[in-house]
């Protein structure tokens, strides 16, 4: 007869896998939806007998926005995937954060469709970059929750200081990008280039998280 504790652990892992599969499906659908505005542009170009060159030139902004959003969502999914490598069971808090994160990923499709077609008004900048920042902050909260709650890990190793630093450095940069994009006229989406500072900031924060982990363990 199976040991009750072993059966419970097996069920916990099964539940975690179901949550991961569901999250993967949501992200995959969200990534697919990103291309829909461009497909509509192709249909419009065909109706007006527009050449491929003119169509690509006219919708270059939408193409760049699609590529940027695709990369951002994919990078967020990688972080989410790495978080759940440490999870053997979920708590209501972790599930709630996961669904809130999925909400930001799905909602991001809305401003993405507007960015390439409309002028960069402050409200659009705030919605587009703000959702990215919120999504990154939720991932940081999930990372911290999993790293501090031994019940969630259930014997699995905690995060290394480098992983914590990587998660929080990304969130800090997204918040900085949002503030600069809204406060400095003309900077607009160019503020997103600051995300290339993620690695240097990560190295700067890593010793801090190493000391923090030592104090908390």
- The three-class DSSP label of residue 82 is helix
Instruction: Work out the pLDDT band at 1, boundaries 50, 70, 90.
Output: very low
Task: Write the pLDDT tens digit of every residue in 16-59.
Answer: 888 899 999 999 999 998 888 777 777 777 777 777 777 777 77
pTM of the model: 0.87
Return d(Cα 84, Cα 59) in angstroms, integer: 38
Tokens of 150: 């031994």
DSSP calls for 50-61: --HHHHHHHTHH
Task: Write the pLDDT tens digit of every residue in 163-189.
Answer: 888 889 999 999 999 999 999 988 888
Query: Is 188 in contact with 125 (CB distance < 8 Å)?
Result: yes
pLDDT more than 90, % of the chain: 39
Task: Write the pLDDT tens digit of every residue in 124-148.
Answer: 889 999 999 999 999 999 999 998 8
């Amino acid at each position: 007869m199976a040991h009750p504790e072993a059966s419970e652990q097996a069920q916990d892992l099964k539940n975690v896998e179901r949550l991961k599969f569901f999250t993967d499906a949501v992200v995959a659908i969200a990534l697919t939806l990103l291309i829909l505005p461009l497909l509509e542009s192709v249909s419009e170009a065909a109706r007006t007998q527009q050449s491929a060159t003119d169509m690509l030139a006219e919708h270059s902004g939408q193409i760049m926005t699609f590529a940027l959003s695709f990369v951002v969502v994919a990078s967020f999914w990688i972080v989410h995937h790495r978080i759940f490598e440490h999870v053997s069971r979920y708590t209501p808090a972790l599930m709630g954060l996961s669904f809130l994160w999925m909400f930001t990923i799905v909602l991001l499709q809305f401003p993405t469709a507007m960015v390439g077609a409309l002028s960069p008004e402050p409200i659009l900048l705030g919605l587009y970059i703000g959702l990215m920042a919120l999504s990154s902050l939720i991932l940081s909260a999930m990372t911290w929750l999993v790293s501090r709650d031994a019940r969630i890990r259930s014997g699995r190793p905690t995060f290394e200081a480098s992983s914590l630093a990587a998660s929080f450095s990304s969130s800090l940069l997204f918040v900085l990008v949002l503030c600069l994009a809204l406060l400095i006229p003309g900077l607009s989406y160019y503020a997103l280039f600051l995300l290339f500072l993620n690695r240097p900031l990560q190295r700067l924060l890593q010793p801090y998280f190493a000391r923090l982990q030592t104090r908390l363990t």
